[in-house]
Structure 1
Amino acid sequence: MTTVARKQRFAFPEMSDWFENLPARFAMPTMGDLYTVRIEDYTEDGRYVMRAELPGMSPEDIDVFISDGILTVQAERTEKDVTKNHGEIRYGAMSRSVTLPPGADDDDVKADYTDGMLTVSVGLGAEKAEAKHVEIRHGN
């Protein structure tokens, strides 16, 4: 009798990971024609840091901007006009937006693209005061 070992997996992995692990022919874009850019983010030395995987891109194909406290990375990979025997590389527009933490200074932003990784860091100034509660009066 043969015993088959199974790996225990969490029943609902993060959706982006689930789609990423599908075979390429079944993978679907996340929004219309846009693919999601895979990121990681953390705070280091008083700065918010977001790293994005953008392999095979040139810096001219990447756009980083901040608007209303949202940091957005957009990129586009164009397909080479060649006959392929096999293809799993994603082409087209890619985008990812994240909400910046409180105190982020959108005038203190740095971006670097090295070895397929885009690193964007935003200075963190003093956080704004906590939300103030407003007393509600009942008028008669």
Structure 2
Amino acid sequence: MATRHDPFVDTARWMDQLLGGAREVPAAAPSMPMDLYRAGDHYVLHVDLPGADPGSVDVNVEDSTLTVRAQRTARTETDVQWLARERASGTYVRQLTVGRGLALDRGDASYADGVLTLTIPVAEEARPRRIEIRHAAPGAGSIGASEQVNEEEPAS
């Protein structure tokens, strides 16, 4: 049976042994998973912001860009020996391009249990409408009816 050797796994194990397992795992940009859906005449956005300080959560709209921003502060206990430190900290930012037809000035936002919920109604002018069809009597000025044209022949 063939075995594979991965030098990166060995290097990580050696670093853990040397540093006592307290090395920090560099995180990519903090993520902000979201769900977006339309429910009737509203759009609803749920954004996961676990551990974010509620006072740092900010929702801003400029032109056609919706920006959600939040801050998660790293723990700064003194006189502790970290065994693992994997939770990302820093500023979370997510931007969405929104189209016309939303009443952004009437949006509502709430933050509970680490989830930001933003509800934005569809603007009145963008809501679907039904156009009533009038039924005209046959031949009563309908579009496309042929008209007779009297042409006189030139005298010869």
| TM-score with structure 2 setting the length | 0.58
Structure 1 counterpart SS, 2:55 = helix
Is 1:99 aligned to 2:102, yes or no? no
Gaps of 5+ in 1: 1-23, 30-34, 129-140
Shift, 1:38, TM fit:
1.5
2:63 to 68, 71, 86: 68
Higher strand share: 1
Q: Deviations over 1:30-63 (max 9, x none)?
A: xxxxx34221111113111111000112320111
1:52 to 38, 47, 54: 47
Is 1:25 aligned to 2:47, yes or no? no
Is 1:43 aligned to 2:43, yes or no? no
Shift, 1:26, TM fit:
5.5
Runs of 4+ in 1 over 6 A off after TM superposition: none
Is 1:127 aligned to 2:126, yes or no? yes
Instruction: Give the corresponding residue for 1:111.
Output: 109
Larger radius of gyration: 2
Task: Indicate if the aligned counterparts of 2:34 and 2:47 stay in contact, CA closer than 8 A.
Answer: yes
Task: Report the identity percentage.
Answer: 29
Shift, 1:102, TM fit:
2.8
Tell me how far apart the structure 2 counterparts of residues 81 and 26 of structure 1 sit (CA, whole Å): 17
Tell me how far apart the structure 1 counterparts of residues 120 and 99 of structure 2 sit (CA, whole Å): 10
Task: Indicate if the aligned counterparts of 1:48 and 1:122 stay in contact, CA closer than 8 A.
Answer: yes
Tell me how far apart the structure 1 counterparts of residues 51 and 116 of structure 2 sit (CA, whole Å): 12
Tell me how far apart the structure 1 counterparts of residues 47 and 104 of structure 2 sit (CA, whole Å): 18
- Report the AA paired with residue 28 of structure 1: A
- Give matches, 1:4-23, under 5 Å: none
Gaps of 5+ in 2: 1-23, 128-156
Instruction: Give the corresponding residue for 1:80.
Output: 75
More displaced stretch, 81-90 vs 113-122: 81-90
Tell me how far apart the structure 2 counterparts of residues 111 and 71 of structure 1 sit (CA, whole Å): 13
Higher helix share: 2
Task: Indicate if the aligned counterparts of 1:48 and 1:101 stay in contact, CA closer than 8 A.
Answer: no
